[in-house]
Amino acid sequence: MFFSNSLENQLQRWNETIRNQPKNHNAYICRGMVNFQLAKIDESIQDFDMAEQLDTHIKAYLWQRGLSYYYAERFAEGAQQFEIDLTVNAQDVEETVWRYLCIARSLGVEEARNSLLTVKNDPRRVMQRVYDLYAGDCTPDDVLTVGQSERIKGNFYSHLYLGLYYEAQNNLDLAQNYIVKAADQYKIDDYMWYLAQVHKKLRGWI
């Protein structure tokens, strides 16, 4: 289920906060995240841009904007955002995988794999395996096996990133299969679960 009513309530609260505190950059980030969760991609980017205008130091921490860029099909800007993010969070597999996805959608999978940035020591075993998959060093079954060993959260992440991997290869049937499973069968309290819902909605898979 897509909890639109709850999100609409959150949106109204952040609208009110911003009316009362128009220089509060965190409020714009929070509203941008809610807009994204509601699949209002352009509005989310506008909020993240305003947050950066109010405090330029946060640019390297706006990973949420990188995700919005991907769904806005602004792939070059998305790749650049994730590169900047990795300068302050070099151990995060998700940042480099999303950079890969942006490059794959604009320049092709081969270019994305050849430019995959090195990430070490991400504490999440499932994300280590996801990295290996995108690097060409393991199979989809290897990712699923590790995901299963980490219960619902591991299953969610393994299915989401397999779906995104197949979408980058333009295998839309497998992309749909894995992302719909991630969204429908492995619900977790996480921004990325909402991303899976947004993905379904924007691709017409609901």
Dump pLDDT digits (tens) for 8-45: 999 999 999 999 999 999 999 999 999 999 999 999 99
C-alpha Rg value of the chain to the nearest Å: 17
- What pTM, to 2 d.p., does this model score? 0.93
User: For residue 119, which phi and psi values (nearest 5 degrees)?
Assistant: -130, 130
Per-residue confidence band for 113, with pLDDT thresholds at 50, 70 and 90: very high
DSSP H helical segments within 88-150, as ranges?
A: 93-107, 109-114, 125-135, 140-149
Per-residue confidence band for 92, with pLDDT thresholds at 50, 70 and 90: confident
Confidence at residue 1, expressed as pLDDT on a 0 to 100 scale: 42
Mean pLDDT of all residues in 63-74 = 98
Which pLDDT tens digit goes with each residue over 155-182?
A: 999 999 999 999 999 999 999 999 999 9
DSSP H helical segments within the chain, as ranges?
A: 4-20, 25-37, 41-54, 63-71, 75-86, 93-107, 109-114, 125-135, 140-149, 151-168, 172-185, 191-203
